[in-house]
């Protein structure tokens, strides 16, 4: 994962970049359900949850029906927000989560294959159900895999970097997607 730390708030110091990268990647790898925020045609905020896999994790991908309202709205406006979190063992203590922003993109063929592989690895039931094979073949399925290129994020990883230390990052392009 390539990103730069753009700030910390809540009294914490900027963490070691390698440690932050490791903990951010662990969170994204472990938490599969994300809430997506989009804007509808009337300019109102809407939320939808989706099982999400991450690639490198500059890219987030989710499978959804092509006709779903949140997909239609996302295709029209492209920008979205994502929120994901780990359930704390005690209310309000040891919080871990992220708020991410990005844009819907149409991945090139190579990136699409990498995303399909990442989604299948994260959610093995999609392989067993034949969904991944259908995506690889290019079948005309009722749904599709959508890709969000992440641009900004705020991580809260209290067990690792202190209480209420909100760490803001900007994702940057790397030469390699892996």
Q: What is the mean pLDDT of each run of 10 residues along the chain (178 residues)?
A: 76 79 91 95 95 88 91 94 90 91 94 92 89 84 90 93 90 61
Supply 34's token pair.
């994300």
| 8 A C-beta contact, residue 113 and residue 130 | no
Task: Tell me what pLDDT residue 57 has.
Answer: 65
Residue 177 located in a structural domain:
no
Phi-psi region of 98 (alpha: psi -120 to 50; beta: other; left: phi over 0): beta
Tell me the whole-structure pTM to 2 decimals.
Answer: 0.86
Residue 23 located in a structural domain:
yes
HSE value, Cβ hemisphere, 13 Å, CA-based, for 25: 14
Which range of residues forms the domain containing residue 73?
Answer: 3-171
Residue 147 located in a structural domain:
yes
Determine whether 151 is exposed, middle or buried from the number of CB atoms within 10 Å of its CB (0-12, 13-18, 19+). middle
CATH code of the domain covering residue 96: 2.30.110.10
Task: Tell me what pLDDT residue 14 has.
Answer: 73
Residue 21 located in a structural domain:
yes
**Structural domain tally of the chain?**
1
């Amino acid at each position: 994962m390539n990103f730069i730390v753009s700030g910390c708030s809540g009294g914490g110091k900027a963490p070691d970049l390698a440690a932050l990268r490791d903990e951010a990647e662990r969170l994204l790898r472990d938490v599969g359900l994300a809430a997506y925020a989009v804007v509808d045609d009337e300019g109102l905020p809407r939320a939808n949850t989706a099982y999400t896999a991450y690639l490198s994790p500059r890219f987030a991908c989710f499978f959804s029906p092509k006709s779903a309202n949140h997909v239609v709205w996302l295709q029209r406006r492209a920008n979205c927000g994502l929120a994901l979190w780990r359930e704390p063992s005690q209310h309000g203590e040891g919080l871990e989560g992220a708020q991410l922003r990005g844009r819907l993109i149409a991945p090139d063929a190579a990136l699409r294959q990498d995303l399909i592989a990442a989604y299948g690895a994260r959610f093995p039931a999609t392989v067993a159900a034949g969904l991944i094979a259908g995506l690889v073949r290019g079948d005309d399925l009722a749904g599709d895999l959508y890709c969000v290129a992440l641009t900004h994020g705020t991580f809260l990883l209290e067990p690792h970097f202190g209480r209420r230390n909100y760490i803001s990052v900007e994702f940057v392009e790397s030469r390699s997607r892996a």
